[in-house]
Amino acid sequence: MILISVDVTKLEKGRFFKGKKGIYADLALIERPDDFGNDGFVAQSITKEERDAGEKGKIVGNWRTVSKNHGKPVTPKQPQPLEEQDDIPF
């Protein structure tokens, strides 16, 4: 199992797209371990043309693999209810 943590306020709304069942954002998992136990970071995907021009997607979070705990159950952090905020992008 992979756990992903994303700061949704960093997502660029202009890159959202409408699909059959909702509004989506493409994200990429980049494998780059850090000192905090994460296996890598999450970036918002960009177009091929942007990649060819040397641009990089905005980093919006991190991820870690939890299956490395030898199959022991993992309890993800429980989300805390948010008050209504204007800076959430949706």
Tokens found for residue 89: 């992008």
* Element housing 49 (H / E): helix 48-52
- The whole-number pLDDT of residue 28 equals 95
Contacts 24+ apart (CB under 8 A), 25-33: 27/60, 28/57, 29/2, 29/4, 29/63
Along the chain (90 residues), what's the average pLDDT of each consecutive run of 10 residues? 94 95 96 94 96 95 80 62 64
- The whole-number pLDDT of residue 47 equals 93
